[in-house]
Each structure stands twice: as structure tokens, then as C-alpha cells.
């Protein structure tokens, strides 16, 4: 179930890494690595990915993609060929996903709760909790944190914060 304009699909597997080696060369930073085998820790971002590392990562992506496509085909009642057609990584709206059999129907939270009650016999009176991926700290925690940081900074920046030429927070 999804809303009409939900973004669905995006069937596929992606592995992303960043190649920072030219930037590191430019700023004069060299990273040395000691490892037990040539592919240990690859790709690492501090050197260009070589063909062996690329092939190793591609094999993981391909295997994961086959597994995921199998799940989509099996759970959505699609042929493997149709799942692969739909699994080219593109996204679909909720309306498109219904027609493509990627979701069963359109609806929101209440429709989903009704479906859970009817189809899965989940008690409709169970509480629903909304979980936000970003939960900022309450204002008083932020203020207390700032006050603590300010107090530590004052100690460190004061003359009493020095001990034998080294900054110290605690003096024995």
C-alpha cells in the first residue's frame, strides 16, 4: 500500500564509494595501508579502484540484485523476466506501482491499519507510534550542552587552565 504520489520502485542494488586520491595528493596527504590480502579493505577511497576490486564489488552487487529480484518476483507474483524489466532501478509513483503490481492498493495510514486488522488480524486498537528519523534535542538539553561547552572553554582559555605549558582541565 502506498499513497498516490509515493515514490516506489527503485529496484536494484547500488554500491557507492568516493575516490579521494587526487585530492589527497593535492593537499599533500599520503595514506599508507598494511593489509593481509590485496582486496582487504577495497575500495578504500584513498586510492583509485583497480579492476580486481571493481570485479569483486560488482560480484556482490550482482548477487544481491539477483536475490532481491527473486524476492520481488516471488512476493509480488511476477515472472522473473517481468521483475527484471521493472527492476532497472527506475522509480514509480504509487499510481504506477498499482498498475505494475508492485503494490496492492493506494491508501494512507488509516487504510493500512484497516488492512492489518482485516487481512492479518492485528488488533486495530494497538497504539501507533510515529518515529521521526531526526529527533532534535529539547531546547533545555541544547542549552545545558552549550552551557557545559562554554564552561569548559572558559577553563581552557583561562590562565588557570595551564599546567607546565600544557592546557589542563583538571589540576592534581
Dump the DSSP string for 9-72: E--S--------HHHHHHHT-------SSTTTT-S-SSS---HHHHHHHHHHHHHHHHHHHHHH
- Least reliable range by pLDDT among 22-26, 35-39, 144-148: 144-148
State the Cα torsion 23-24-26-27 to the nearest 10°.
Answer: 120
Q: pLDDT for 122-163, tens place per residue?
A: 888 888 888 777 767 777 777 777 777 777 666 656 655 555
**For cell 487481512, what's the residue?**
119
Looking at the chain, the domain(s) classified CATH 3.40.1750 span 7-120
Distances (CA, A) of 99 to 68, 90, 104, 106: 21, 15, 9, 11
Tens digits of residue pLDDT in 72-87: 999 999 999 999 999 9
| Confidence band for 172, pLDDT divided at 50, 70 and 90 | very low
Give the H or E element holding residue 163: strand 162-163
Distance CA 133, CA 97 (A): 25
Overall pTM > 0.85: no
State whether residue 125 is helix, strand or coil.
Answer: coil
CATH of range 7-120; options 1.10.3470, 3.40.1750, 3.40.50, 3.30.750: 3.40.1750
Q: Is the pLDDT of residue 109 over 70?
A: yes
Amino acid at each position: 500500500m502506498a499513497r498516490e504520489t509515493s515514490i516506489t520502485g527503485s529496484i536494484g542494488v547500488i554500491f557507492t564509494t568516493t575516490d579521494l586520491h587526487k585530492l589527497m595528493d593535492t593537499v599533500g596527504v599520503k595514506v599508507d595501508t598494511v593489509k593481509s590480502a590485496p582486496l582487504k579493505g577495497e575500495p578504500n577511497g584513498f586510492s583509485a579502484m583497480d579492476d580486481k576490486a571493481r570485479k569483486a564489488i560488482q560480484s556482490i552487487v550482482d548477487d544481491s540484485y539477483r536475490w532481491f529480484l527473486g524476492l520481488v518476483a516471488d512476493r509480488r507474483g511476477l515472472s522473473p523476466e517481468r521483475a527484471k524489466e521493472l527492476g532497472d532501478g527506475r522509480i514509480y509513483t504509487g499510481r504506477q506501482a498499482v498498475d505494475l503490481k508492485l503494490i496492492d492498493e493506494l491508501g494512507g495510514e488509516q487504510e493500512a491499519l484497516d488492512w492489518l486488522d482485516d487481512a492479518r488480524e492485528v488488533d486495530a486498537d494497538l497504539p501507533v507510534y510515529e518515529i521521526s528519523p531526526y529527533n532534535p534535542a529539547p531546547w533545555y538539553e541544547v542549552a545545558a550542552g552549550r552551557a557545559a561547552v562554554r564552561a569548559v572553554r572558559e577553563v581552557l582559555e583561562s590562565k588557570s587552565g595551564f599546567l607546565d605549558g600544557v592546557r589542563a582541565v583538571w589540576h592534581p
